[in-house]
Amino acid sequence: MTKSNDTLNRGPVRCDVSQYRLGAILLMFAWPAAWFTLLIYVIGRQFISEGSTSPTWLLLLVTVLGTGAELVVGLVLLRCEGYRMSINALRDRICLHWPKGWKAWVLAVIVFFLGMSLSVAVGPINSMLASVPGFTPPEWWPAASNPTVKVDSTADIFYDINLEGNYLFILLYFVIGLVFNIFGEEIYYRGFLLPRMRGTFGKWDWVANSVLFTLKHVYQRWLFPGILVGGLCFAFAAGPLGSLPLAMVYHWIGNFLFPMVFLIMAALGFG
């Protein structure tokens, strides 16, 4: 790791951050990939019966343990930098700001709609990639992120959960998604790690962050095209636009908006 005396520009924020060398950056993306692979393919696989699909409880547990580890490591490393664990103390370090000025917001809206459009466009590419040897998901992989499985209703995704009137499950799904998946990944990859990549990748650090973030998902590599689109949007929001909250909003909408809508409809008896 090297120390940079340069001031890093993050949209409206100026933040001095020690810089990682390339090897350290790769390591910071590699350990989560290894951890998720262990959780899913070694430990989790033991709880999936032959010929069945991964149960919902296992999916949620892997999310908690996987992205929860990223959240904890990110916060610990920030604490090791000398920051107190408060919004005010971390505000400039991890860019806890909304975009400043109408031009930034116009760009944010353009990025959002462009990202949503591209996400839809690469859907068929994900499906084609899932048929390529070496990229095919296991038969037991959850339907929510398995392009080879036809999904006709919310019940096809949460096949082992009685959804009608089950608002407690919806709340649990929302909290786990927001706290662990969104907060965990965004604080670690875009809040903590992205500002440490400028010394190696320069102004294209946000692109490098999104590419490495995509490759980190090697355990579900059939989704690489869609993950890359999302990663570019999240990193652009946290990097050039200088707004981690905006990256979190993008991420939550991309991962959870439609599932939450369909879950609520199913709970009301319409799905």
Q: Which residues contact 125 (CB under 8 A, 6 or more apart)?
A: 225
Q: How far apart, in whole angstroms, are the C-alpha atoms of residue 183 and residue 186?
A: 5
Q: For the residues 198-212, what does the mean pLDDT come to?
A: 97
Distances (CA, A) of 54 to 34, 49, 92, 140: 20, 8, 40, 6
Q: How far apart, in whole angstroms, are the C-alpha atoms of residue 269 and residue 263?
A: 10
Across-strand partners of 14? 9
Share of the chain above pLDDT 90, in %: 89
Q: How far apart, in whole angstroms, are the C-alpha atoms of residue 228 and residue 103?
A: 25
- Say if residue 180's pLDDT is above 50: yes
Q: For the residues 64-78, what does the mean pLDDT come to?
A: 97
Across-strand partners of 8? 15
At 150-161, the pLDDT tens digits run 988 899 999 999
Q: Is the model's pTM score more than 0.95?
A: no
Q: Are 41 and 130 in contact (CB under 8 A)?
A: no
Q: Is 243 helix (H, G, I), strand (E, B) or coil?
A: coil
Q: Worst-scoring range by mean pLDDT, 5-19, 102-116, 220-234?
A: 5-19
- Chain mean pLDDT for the chain: 93
- Say if residue 102's pLDDT is above 60: yes
Torsion angle of C-alpha atoms 64, 40, 191, 253, degrees rounded to 10: -70
- Say if residue 8's pLDDT is above 80: no
At 29-63, the pLDDT tens digits run 999 999 999 999 999 999 999 889 999 999 999 99
